[in-house]
Amino acid sequence: MNFFLTIILDGLIQASWLFIVALGLTLVFGVLKILNIAHGSFYALGAYIAATVVTMVAARSLPPSVGFVAMLISVALIASAVGLLLERGLLKMFYGRDEVVLLLVTYAVFLILEDVTKLIWGVNPIYATQPYELFGNLEFAGLYYVGYDLVLIPISAVIGFAIWFGLNRTVIGKIVLAVIHNEEMSVSMGVRVNRVYAVAFAFGVLLAALAGALTAPKISMQPGLSSDVIILSFAIVVIGGLGSVEGAAVGAILVGLARAASVHLMPQAELFMIYLIMAAVLMFRPEGLFKRETARRI
């Protein structure tokens, strides 16, 4: 029994940060119709910045809680700036071109960011473990867990709820939904679509970077991080349905559980399992488990 509980809890911990990443990816796809390959790079960027900030704070012998807050704030600021800059400075030039062309543009951004992180932070693994002890260890049904891991679950739930609420229950959210459903009509109704694009993209970058910052204390940052993460978040959004918030949640939980289960039962089958699920979903329900109201053309 404990064994299954371990898998489920591990899966949820995985799902929590994956969900935040996937949320950004699905939001950017929903609004801008761009499948952003560079999304994983923004995750890595967030993780690297967080590590730098945490190390700087620790060097001044301030408590790790300060480091935790400082890393979240600085990552949020830098990520939004990078997102706005990229959208206004680069992506804007390619609007109206084919989806696949935009995919290639983000692939180019991925390649560039991959080396930029290497140039800034080097190729050796770096760590930022100080905030990891922040919440102590917790005992849960006879199992010991690092408090930080468990705290990630409510954090991502709150973020997910905030986005759902923001999209469905506020004026700004309704405008964004209008752009998602019909861009031309929104323009004719006086929506400044350009502004929505810029904000949505920056927000997507912000979410990826935040997830990177939140997981930074758990992992070692090294090259290759971004390509692993993008592959996982692709699977999640495709399983859940591109552009769907609920879908991202379900996809993240499925992928998190699949990862945890294969780690415990069949190590190394992890990627295989996840992509098998994704291929199966694409084969039988190409629009994802959560079909959106606007029937997309496959």
Partner 1 sequence: MKKGLHPLVMIALVAMVTLAGRALPTWTLSLATIAASNALIALGIVVLARTGNVSFGQGLFFAAGGYGVALIANTWGLTDAVAQVIVGAACGGLLGLVIGPLIARYSGIFFGMLTLALSMVFYGALVKSTALGGSDGFNVGRPSLFGMSFTDPREADFMLYAVSVIVTGFAGIAATILFRSEFGLASLAVRENNLRVEYLGLSANRIISINFLIAAIFAGASGAFALMAQRHIDPQFAYWTTSGEFVFVAVLAGNQSVAAVFVASMALELVRSFSNLYLPNTWQLVLGVFLLGVILFLPRGIGSLWIRDRHRRRHISATPPLTAERGAAP
Nearer of residues 34 and 214 to partner 1, judged by Cβ: 34
Quote the CA–CA distance of 126 and 52 in Å, as a whole number.
9
Backbone angles phi, psi at 67, to 5 degrees: -60, -40
Buried b (16+ CB within 10 A) or exposed e, 195-229: ebbbbbbbbbbbbbbbbbbbbbbbbebbbebbeeb
Nearer of residues 18 and 105 to partner 1, judged by Cβ: 105
The CB density around residue 265, as the number of other CB atoms within 10 Å, is 11
Minimal CA–CA distance to 50: which of 69, 37, 23, 63?
A: 69
Assigned token pair, 296? 């997309």
Contact residues for partner 1, defined by CB under 8 A: 35, 90, 93-94, 97-101, 103-105, 107-112, 114-116, 118-119, 123, 227, 231, 234-235, 238, 242, 266, 268-276, 278-279, 282-283, 286, 297-298
Cβ of residue 273: shortest distance to partner 1, in angstroms?
Answer: 7
Nearer of residues 139 and 184 to partner 1, judged by Cβ: 184
Nearer of residues 209 and 273 to partner 1, judged by Cβ: 273
Nearer of residues 174 and 285 to partner 1, judged by Cβ: 285
Cβ of residue 266: shortest distance to partner 1, in angstroms?
Answer: 8
Assigned token pair, 41? 């790079």
Cβ of residue 134: shortest distance to partner 1, in angstroms?
Answer: 33
Nearer of residues 59 and 295 to partner 1, judged by Cβ: 295
What is the dihedral angle through the alpha carbons of 85, 227, 231, 69, rounded to the nearest 10 degrees? -60
Q: Which residues contact 24 (CB under 8 A, 6 or more apart)?
A: 39, 42, 203, 204, 205, 206, 207, 208, 211
The CB density around residue 194, as the number of other CB atoms within 10 Å, is 13
The CB density around residue 20, as the number of other CB atoms within 10 Å, is 28
Cβ of residue 1: shortest distance to partner 1, in angstroms?
Answer: 28
Cβ of residue 155: shortest distance to partner 1, in angstroms?
Answer: 29
Cβ of residue 183: shortest distance to partner 1, in angstroms?
Answer: 11
